């Protein structure tokens, strides 16, 4: 999912504000102790998410896919006074780690952490969201989008991760792969949706940013 040459990628990160010590620790911990550490947002994408949040100063953020909590901590940096980040994940085995790092980062009181299927939990959330970050199972991207779009305020944003799917979206030989098909269909769906305007950024594995009109 890293498309830039290594030396250029390193240059980009060298000229991006550094991770906090807590995020560095969480980054290392995830890579050493958790399966599929590539799912972590990481330094560059984490700083991008934090900056978007800081620009918007959201009152309510929804994150679909907590993993080990890295992106939630980044997104929480920009919350307005009294704001809340709602984050959903299905993996209860990571709960202790996630809560420990939320506490270490000092954001426990800013985050509501839900365990269970997002498709079931999202309809129960009676909030208007300024920002949504979708980073969960790709087969349900379209379902998540449809569930949240009416909960996002006009002018609010939905950001979806992994929309380049390690470059597979342009490889016609892989279009029969169900995950690749789901990602390409989702990208098309958002691009053709008259309720949003969108831009696809080649940051890490691709971020599709949609602003609700």
What is the model's pLDDT at position 173?
A: 73
3-state secondary structure string across 130-159: EEEEECCCHHHHHHHHHHHHHHEEEEEEEE
- Closest by CA to 136, choosing from 49, 32, 41, 27, is 41
Q: At what angle do helices 178-192 and 141-148 cross, to 10 degrees?
A: 30
pLDDT of amino acid 47: 98
Q: Residue 66: exposed, middle, or buried by beta-carbon count in 10 A (0-12, 13-18, 19+)?
A: buried
Predicted confidence at residue 174, as pLDDT, reads 63
Residue 116 near residue 90, CB atoms below 8 Å: yes
- Output the pLDDT for position 23: 98
Instruction: Give dist(CA 28, CA 37) in Å, integer.
Output: 9
For the chain, 213 residues long, give each residue's pLDDT as a single digit of tens: 677 899 999 999 999 999 999 999 999 999 999 999 989 999 999 999 999 999 999 999 999 999 999 999 999 999 999 999 999 999 999 999 999 999 999 999 999 999 999 999 999 999 999 999 999 999 999 999 999 999 999 999 999 999 999 999 998 776 668 999 999 999 999 999 999 999 999 999 999 999 999
Instruction: Quick: pLDDT tens for 65-88.
Output: 999 999 999 999 999 999 999 999
Q: What pLDDT is attached to residue 175?
A: 60
Check whether domain 6-212 has CATH 3.40.50.150, yes or no: yes
CA dist 128 and 138 (Å) reads 24
**How far is 49 from 72, CA to CA, in rounded Å?**
9
Q: What is the pTM of this model?
A: 0.96
Rounded Cα distance between 112 and 56, Å, is 19
| Dihedral pair phi/psi, residue 162, rounded to 5° | 65, 35
| 8 A C-beta contact, residue 62 and residue 114 | no
Q: Where are the domains of the chain?
A: 6-212
Give the three-class secondary structure for 190: helix
């Amino acid at each position: 999912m890293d498309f830039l040459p290594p030396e250029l990628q390193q240059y980009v990160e060298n000229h991006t504000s550094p991770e906090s010590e807590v995020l560095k620790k969480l980054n290392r911990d995830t890579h050493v102790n958790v399966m599929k550490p590539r799912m972590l947002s990481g330094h560059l994408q984490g700083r991008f998410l934090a900056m978007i949040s800081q620009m918007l100063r959201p009152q309510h953020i929804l994150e679909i896919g907590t993993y080990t909590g890295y992106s939630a901590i980044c997104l929480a940096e920009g919350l307005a006074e009294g704001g809340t980040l709602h984050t959903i994940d299905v993996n209860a085995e990571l709960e202790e780690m996630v809560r420990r790092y939320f506490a270490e980062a000092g954001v426990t009181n800013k985050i509501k952490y839900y365990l269970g299927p997002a498709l079931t939990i999202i309809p129960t959330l009676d909030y208007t969201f300024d920002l949504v970050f979708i980073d969960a199972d790709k087969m349900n991207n379209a379902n998540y989008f449809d569930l949240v779009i009416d909960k996002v305020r006009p002018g609010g944003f939905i950001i979806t991760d992994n929309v380049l799917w390690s470059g597979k979206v342009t490889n016609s030989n892989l279009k029969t792969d169900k995950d690749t098909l789901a990602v390409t269909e989702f990208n098309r769906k958002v691009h053709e949706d008259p309720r949003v305007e969108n831009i696809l950024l080649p940051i890490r594995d691709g971020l599709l940013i949609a602003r609700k009109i």
